[in-house]
Amino acid sequence: MNVFPLKFRQWDDGTFLFADDAGGFFRSDETFLTRYAKDMLTDDDFSFLEENGHVYRQVADYSFNAFMYRWAKRLYAPGDLDYVIFVPTLRCNLSCGYCQVSRVNENTPGFDWDETTLQATLKFLDSLKTTRMKVEFQGGEPLLRIDLLERVREFCRERFDEVEFVVCTNLHQLGTREWAFLSANDTYVSTSLDANASVHQRQRTITAERTAEFFGNLRRAIDILGPSKVSALPTLDVRNLPDPRSVIESFTSFEMRSIYLRPVNYQGFARKQFQALDSAVRWNAYHAEFIDAMIDYNWTANEPVEEYYFVHCLRRVLRSGHNGHTDLRNPNVLGQSYLVIDHDGVFYPTDEARMVTRIGRIDLSMGNVRTGFSSVTVDALNAEATNNLHPDCVHCSYQPFCGVDLIDDLSRYGRIDMPKHDTDFCRRHTHLFDKVFELIYSEDPKVRKSVAIWAGMPEYDPAIAKVHA
C-alpha cells in the first residue's frame, strides 16, 4: 500500500497534526511520525490510513481516483466573469483617517465616471456571456452618484436573468431617492460599523451629530430593509482594540450576527498614518480572543454569532471546493471571474490592486473599459498564484486549506518572493488555521457547540476530529 504524502505540524501539547495534499487530516503522536518516517508502519496504521482515504494500492484504483477528485476540487477554477466592482466616484463625504481607497473631497471635480465611461461600461456588461451578474458599487461614496447607480441597475435588470446589487455606503446624507434605491429587492447594503459608537466616532464620524446620523440611518436600514439585506464591517485599529464583547453587543443590537473583523489595511492613506506593518502578532492575539468571546456568547444566546472569515477558514479545512471568498483561493487566479472598473474606467483585478497602483507600488491595471483589456502584468502574476509547488508551502500542513495573495505581498513588501513565513498573509493564516484546529479538536462543550454551528452540522460529532493513537 502507498501512503499519500503526509505533512505534519507539532502542537503545543506535543501531538502532531498530519495532513495530505487533498486536505485529509488527523492527529497522532511522535511515535507514529517515527514509524512513518522510517517506513515502519504497522497493520493498524495502514488500516486507519486506508479507512480515512490516505492510501492507495495502485494508480487509478478507487482510492486513488477519490483522492484525485478531492485534491482537484480544492483548486479554484475561475468561471465566467459574473461579478463586477464599480467605482463610479472617488469622492466621499467622510474623511476617515484609515481610508483604504485614497478618496478625494466631496467637491473635487474630475473623479467621477463621465458619460463615455458609463456608456463603455454598459457596453462591456452587454458583451459578457453570463446570465447572472453581481454588481458591487464602491467608492468614494457611491450614493453621491445615485444617477449612475440607477442607470447601471436598470441596464443590468434588462440584460441579465439574475442580478444582485451591493451598495457599499457610509449611510450619510440619504434622501428619498437614495432610500428608494436601497429598498429594492435585488439591492443590498454594505456599510462600516467600527466596533461601537465611541470607536466609530473616533475613526469615522468625528462629531456627535454625524455619529447620531449614522446610527439613525443604520437603524432605519435594518428596520425597513431587514437585517438580511444589511451587512457591516468593523475596521479596527490594532493600536487601540475594543473589547470583543462590546463589538458583539453593538452588532447584535442591530441583529447583525456575522461579523467580519478587519484590521486597518496597510494601504492608501492608512499607510501614512498607521505603522501597521508588523501588527500581525497583536492582531492574531486579538482575533483569538474575539473567537473565544463569540464561543462564550453562543453558549447561552438564542441566535449565534460568527466571525465571517474564521468560519470561511474552518469550512475550507473541512470541505473541498469552498472557494467563495476572493481573498483565500488556490490558485488565486485574478482578473477573470471578477473585475473592478475605477472612476476613470481603468480595469483592475481587485480593489486592493487598484490601491496598490494608486500608491505607486506597481501598475496592476488591466486596460481601460473604453479601450479594452491588456493584462500582461496580471497574467504574469497569475502564473505565480499557486501554493502547491511553492517551496515554503509544500511542507506546510495547512497548504491545502490556504491560498495565495500576491497583491497583499506586493502592497506590503513590493515583491512576491518574500519567504512566505515572513509575510503578513502567512502569519495571519497560520494563526487562523492553528485556531481552527484547536477548536475542531477541543473537548470543551462550549467550543463544540460553536464549531457545530459554524461548520454547518446539526450537532458536533467527534468523527470530524480524527485521532490515530
Partner 1 sequence: MIDLRLKIEPFPAVEPFVLRLRYDAASSEDDAILVDREAGRFEFDYNGFSLVVHAPDGMDLDGDVIMVLPGQGSAHRLVRAASPHNTFLVTEQCDQLCVMCSQPPKKHHADLFPQFLKAVELAPDRAYIGLSGGEPMLHREKMFSFLEVAAAARPDVRFHILTNGQHFEEADAGRLRGIGVERVLWGIPLYARSPEIHDEIVGKPGAFERLQCSLSNLMLAGASVELRTVVMRQNFSELPALANYICNRLPFISVWALMQMERIGYGRMNWASSFMDTSSDFSALKSAINTVCARGIEAALYNFPLCSVPQPYRHLAPSTISDWKRKYLGSCEGCGSRDACGGFFEWYKHDEGFRGISPL
Which residues of the chain form contacts with partner 1 (CB under 8 A)? 24, 51-53, 62-63, 65-66, 69-70, 73, 315, 318-322, 452, 455-461, 463-464
Please choose, from the candidates 466, 469, 342, the residue with its C-alpha nearest in 3D space to the C-alpha of residue 53: 466
> Toward partner 1, which CB reaches closer, 84 or 453?
453
> Toward partner 1, which CB reaches closer, 113 or 433?
433
> Toward partner 1, which CB reaches closer, 216 or 324?
324
CA 140/CA 137 separation, integer angstroms: 10
> Toward partner 1, which CB reaches closer, 262 or 466?
466
Shortest spacing between CB 170 and partner 1, in angstroms: 36
Looking at the DSSP assignment, which residues form a beta bridge with residue 8? 18
CA 32/CA 49 separation, integer angstroms: 12
Q: Which three cell numbers stand for residue 18?
A: 498530519
Please choose, from the candidates 132, 107, 70, the residue with its C-alpha nearest in 3D space to the C-alpha of residue 322: 70
Please choose, from the candidates 235, 236, 191, the residue with its C-alpha nearest in 3D space to the C-alpha of residue 215: 191
Shortest spacing between CB 320 and partner 1, in angstroms: 6
φ and ψ of 198, to 5 deg? -70, -40
> Toward partner 1, which CB reaches closer, 269 or 401?
401
Shortest spacing between CB 262 and partner 1, in angstroms: 26
Shortest spacing between CB 453 and partner 1, in angstroms: 11
Contact, 231 vs 258, CB < 8 A?
Answer: yes
CA 362/CA 279 separation, integer angstroms: 23
The continuous run of DSSP H or E covering 431 comes out as helix 424-440
Helices (H), 301-373: 308-318, 351-358
DSSP E strand boundaries for 270-332: 306-307
Shortest spacing between CB 179 and partner 1, in angstroms: 35
CA dihedral (72, 73, 76, 80) in degrees, to 10, reads 110
End-to-end CA distance of the chain: 20
DSSP conformational letter for 308: H
> Toward partner 1, which CB reaches closer, 24 or 140?
24
Shortest spacing between CB 415 and partner 1, in angstroms: 36
> Toward partner 1, which CB reaches closer, 128 or 457?
457
> Toward partner 1, which CB reaches closer, 172 or 435?
435
> Toward partner 1, which CB reaches closer, 166 or 440?
440
Contacts of residue 27, defined as CB under 8 A and 6 or more positions apart, other chains included, come to 15, 16, 17, 18, 441, 465, 466, 467, 468
> Toward partner 1, which CB reaches closer, 51 or 126?
51
Contacts 24+ apart (CB under 8 A), 200-203: 203/96, 203/97, 203/98, 203/235, 203/237
> Toward partner 1, which CB reaches closer, 359 or 452?
452
Using alpha carbons, list the distances in angstroms from residue 195 to 92, 112, 232, 392, 432: 21, 31, 10, 36, 21
Shortest spacing between CB 258 and partner 1, in angstroms: 19
Shortest spacing between CB 447 and partner 1, in angstroms: 15
Shortest spacing between CB 47 and partner 1, in angstroms: 12
Shortest spacing between CB 452 and partner 1, in angstroms: 7
CA 28/CA 12 separation, integer angstroms: 13
CA–centroid distance for 70 within its chain: 22
Shortest spacing between CB 63 and partner 1, in angstroms: 7
CA–centroid distance for 17 within its chain: 25
Say how many CA atoms lie within 13 Å of 380 toward its Cβ: 8
Contacts of residue 316, defined as CB under 8 A and 6 or more positions apart, other chains included, come to 322, 328, 401
> Toward partner 1, which CB reaches closer, 71 or 86?
71
Shortest spacing between CB 95 and partner 1, in angstroms: 43
